[in-house]
Structure 1
Amino acid sequence: MDALTDLLDGPRARGAFMLRAALNPPWSIRIQDEAPLTLVAMVQDEAWVTYDGAEPQCVRPGDMAICRGPEPYTVGDHPATAPQVVIHPGQHCTTPDGTSLSEAMDLGVRAWGNDPDGSAVMLIGTYQMRGAVTQRLLAALPSLAIVRGDTWKSPLTGLLGEEIVKDEPGQEVVLDRLLDLLLIATLRAWFSRPDAERPGWYRAHGDAVVGPALRLLHDDLAHPWTVAGLAAGVGVSRAALAQRFGKLVGEPPMAYLTAVRLAHAADLLRESDATLEAVARRVGYGNAFALSTAFKREHGMSPQEYRAGPAASPPAGAATS
C-alpha cells in the first residue's frame, strides 16, 4: 500500500451532498458551508471560483475543480457578479439577506439552479466528513485545485451525470461510490502534473529506498517499527534511511509513522465503535493508555473526548432552506 492509497482508504463518502446545477447568467453563489472538500465537474459553459483574497480562477467545460474548505469562496459566471445565493452549513440555501431559496431553486431530483435549461451546468459533490486521514490529504492540496479537461479524460464524469438525477433504490450508495472514484481519479491527475507541487510523501513514493519504506509502514501500522528495523527491511543502513527519509518526506521516519498512526486512530474513533484498546492495537500502540497519551499530545483532547465530539451529518437531496 502506498501513502496516497492509504490516505484515500480512510473515511469514504456516506450520504454525500450531490446535485446537478443549471444556471443562466448573471449568477453567483457564495459557498460558506464549511465542508472540508467539494468536487465540481464543469459540464457546460464556464465558472469563476474566487477565494477571499485570492485571484479568481476559471473552470471550463471538462475541467474538474477540487475546492478545499472550510474557508468560504464564491462561484459565479464572472468574478464581478455579486452573490445572489448563499450556501450555509447543512447546505441551507438563502439570499444574502437570509430569505429562503429552497423552493425557488429546486429543479427536481438532485437538480438545482435558476433555470432547468441554464447555459452553465455543473455536477457537484460535497464531502461532509472531517476525518483526520482526510485532513492529512487536504493539507497537501491548495485551496483550489483544477485539473484541466485537455489534460485528462475519464468516463466517470458522464456516468455521474447520468446517475445523479436518478431516484432509485440504493441510489445514494451508487453516487457515493462514483464520487469517491471521481475524486481519486482527479487527485491522481492533479498530483501527476509535471508542474505539480507534490507533498513530500508523494514524491518519495518513487524513490528506490524511501518508497519501499513507506509501503512497509502503511502495510502494517501495528508492527513495532524502529528505524533500524525499517532500514533492514529495505536493505540500507539506519543512517542512510533516516537521512534520505527526512530529506524527501520532510520529517523523520518515526515522526511520520506517529502522525499516520494517530490519524488512523482518529478515524477509527469517529467511524467505528471499536474499543479504545482495540483501536490502540490496530494502529501500533501497546495499550489504550499509550494511545491516549500520544493522542492527547497531538489533538489536545483525549480519544474519548474526540469520539464524543460533534460529527457532521450530511443531509440527503438538494440544498434546503
Structure 2
Amino acid sequence: MPSRHPVRSLATPRYGSGVDALGSLLDGPRAHGAFVLRAMLDPPWSLRVRDGAALTVLAITRGRAWLVPDDAGPVRLDAGDIAVLSGPDPYTVACEPGLEPTVVIEPGGHSTTTTGDDLCGTWSTGLRTWGTGTAAGDAMLIGSYDVRGEVGGRLLAALPPRLALESDDSHTPLVSLLETEIDRADPGQEVVLDRLLDLLLVSVLRTWFASPGRDAPGWVRAHADPVVGRALRLLHDEPALPWTVSALATRVGVSRAALARRFTELVGEPPMTYLTGWRLALAADLLRDPGVTLDTIARRVGYGSAFALSTAFKRAYGVSPGRYRLTRPA
C-alpha cells in the first residue's frame, strides 16, 4: 500500500457538551491526516498485516475477504460487511483462509513482498487506490488509526480484538460516501476523509455496542439505566465538579446508598473510583499538550492542586505527570 503518515488522535477533552459515557469514549479517536485507501485485488491474494495500527476499519465493497487472526478462527466478510480490528497484533486478510501471504503491510501502510521488494509504487493504480485488481475482483476500503492518549486507551480496552457487522446490521451510506471521496483531490480533501472515517467508525461501534448479546463493558450497559446512566453522563460532562456520592445521588434523585449500590452493580466499581479513573485519563490526554500547565490540568479535571493530581496520577500510572509528558508524544 502507498506509504502515508499514520493517524494521530486529537482527544482533547471537551466539557459541558452533555454527551453520554459512550459518547465521551467515541469522541476520543479523531483522525488527522488519515491513512485511507481503496484496495482492489484479483484472487488469489493474501495480505499479512503487521502495521501495528491501534484501530483499523475494513469495509468490503465488492466480492469477499477472509479475516484470519493468529489466535482465532477465520471470519468471512462479504460485500457490505464492516470489520473493526484493535491492534497491534498482526493478522492476515485473504480471498480464502489458508492461503500463504504474498504481501506484507508494514507500519504506515508500506507494502512489500514477503522477500522485501517494495510494492507501494508498482501496485499504486490511482489516487488512494492500490492493488492488482480489476473491476471484477475483490475490493475493500481501509482506514487505520494510531489512537494515542488514555481516553483512546479506554475505548480500546472496551473493544474485543476484532468485531464484524454484517451488511444487514451495518447499513450506512458512509461507506459509499467514503468511496466516492477517495477519488477526489479537491482542496481540504484530507479533512473530508478524516471526518468520514471518524463517522464510519463511530457508527459501527455504536451499532455494535447496542446489539444484543455483546460483551460490552459495564459502563456501556449501564447507560440505559435511568439512574446510573444519568450519573455517568454527569460525571463525564462535568468531571471538574467536587463530586461526592451524596451530591451525585441528589442530582439523579435517589438516595446515596441506592446510587452506590446500583452504580457498583452495573458499572463494576463505585462511583468515585470510576470518576478517578476518568479524571486521570483526561489528565493524561491534556499532558500531551506542552502548553497546558499542570495546575491548569488539575483544575480542569477536578483536582485542587497540581500536587494532588501528581499524587493520584503517579499512584495510577506509576510515573509522575512530568515524566509521562516527556515520554508521550504530542
* Both proteins in one fold, TM over 0.5: yes
Report the Cα offset of residue 69 of structure 1: 0.4
Q: Would you say 1:293 and 2:317 are equivalent positions?
A: no
- My pick for the range that moved more, 266-275 or 256-265, is 266-275
Map 1:115-126; keep pairs closer than 5 Å. 115-117=133-135, 119-126=137-144
Stretch deviating more after TM superposition (284-293 or 252-261): 284-293
Asked whether the 8 Å contact 1:261–1:284 carries over to 2, the reply is yes
Is the deviation greater in 2-11 or in 16-25?
2-11
1:73 is displaced (CA, Å) by: 0.9
Change (3 A) 1:255 1:179: same
Q: 1:270 to 1:165 in 2, by over 3 A?
A: farther
1:188 positional shift: 1.2
Number of equivalent positions = 312
> Would you say the 8 A contact 2:240–2:301 is kept in 1?
yes
CA distance in 2, matches of 1:118, 1:263: 47
1:190 equivalenced with 2:208 (yes/no): yes
- Computed over aligned residues only, the root mean square deviation of the Cα atoms, in angstroms, reads 1.5
Which of 265, 269, 273 does residue 251 from structure 1 map onto? Answer: 269
Most deviating of 291-300 and 22-31: 291-300
Is 1:38 paired with 2:51?
Answer: no
SS in 2 for 1:270: coil
* Alignment equivalent of 1:22, drawn from 40, 49, 53: 40
Q: Does 1:3 align with 2:21?
A: yes
Higher relative contact order (CA 8 A, sep 6+): 1
SS in 1 for 2:158: coil
How far, CA to CA, are the matches of 1:153 and 1:117 in structure 2? 23
SS of alignment partner, residue 152 of structure 2: helix
> Contact 1:7–1:134 at 8 Å: present in 2 too?
yes
Residue pair 1:23, 1:118 contacting (<8 A) in 2 also? no
| Residues 89-140 of structure 1: per-residue CA shift (max 9 Å, x gap) | 2222112222221212212211111235351110111011322111111111
C-alpha displacement of 1:72? 1.0
Q: 2:281 aligns with which of 256, 259, 263?
A: 263
**Counterpart position of 1:105:** 123
Q: Which runs of 5+ in 1 are unaligned?
A: 313-321
Output the CA distance in 2 between the equivalents of 1:265 and 1:310.
13
Bigger shift: residues 90-99 or 250-259: 90-99
- How far apart, in 2, do the equivalents of 1:220 and 1:48 lie? 44
* Counterpart residue number, 1:276: 294
Q: Distance in 1 between matches of 2:238 and 2:141?
A: 37
Return the alpha-carbon distance in structure 2 between the equivalents of residues 198 and 10 of structure 1: 18
Output the TM-score relative to the length of structure 1.
Answer: 0.93
Q: Which residue in the other structure is 1:316 paired with? A: none
User: Which stretch has the larger CA shift, 271-280 or 11-20?
Assistant: 271-280
User: Which secondary structure state, in structure 2, belongs to the residue aligned with residue 153 of structure 1?
Assistant: coil
Rounded to whole Å, the distance in 2 between the matches of 1:272 and 1:67 is: 31
| 2:155 corresponds to | 137
Shift of residue 248, structure 1, vs aligned partner: 0.3
Q: 1:270 to 1:139 in 2, by over 3 A?
A: same
Instruction: State the alpha-carbon separation in 2 of the partners of residues 121 and 272 from structure 1.
Output: 42
**What is the aligned partner in structure 2 of residue 76 from structure 1?**
94
Q: Which amino acid aligns with 1:206?
A: A
Q: In structure 2, what is the Cα distance between the partners aligned to 1:21 and 1:306?
A: 38
Residue 272 of structure 1: how far off its partner (Å): 6.5
1:214 aligned residue (229, 232, 235): 232
Q: Secondary structure at the match of 1:273?
A: coil
Q: CA deviation at 1:11?
A: 4.1
Q: Return 5+ residue gaps in structure 2 as ranges.
A: 1-18
**2-side partners of 1:174 and 1:181: how far apart?**
11
Task: Tell me if structure 1 keeps the 8 A contact 2:29–2:198.
Answer: no
Q: Provide the C-alpha distance between the structure 2 equivalents of 1:67 and 1:122, rounded to a whole number of angstroms.
A: 15
**Hey, what's the Cα distance between the residues in 2 that align with 1:26 and 1:47?**
11
- Please, which of 79, 83, 106 is the counterpart of residue 65 of structure 1? 83
1:173 is aligned, of 172, 184, 191, to 191
State the TM-score, normalizing by the size of structure 2: 0.91
> Does structure 1 conserve the Cα–Cα contact (< 8 Å) formed by 2:59 and 2:83?
yes
What corresponds to 2:255 in structure 1?
237
**Distance between the aligned counterparts of 1:80 and 1:14, measured in 2?**
35
User: What residue is the counterpart of 2:4 in the other structure?
Assistant: none
SS in 2 for 1:112: strand
SS of aligned partner of 2:180: helix
After the TM superposition, which segments of 4 or more aligned residues of structure 1 sit over 4 Å from their partners? none
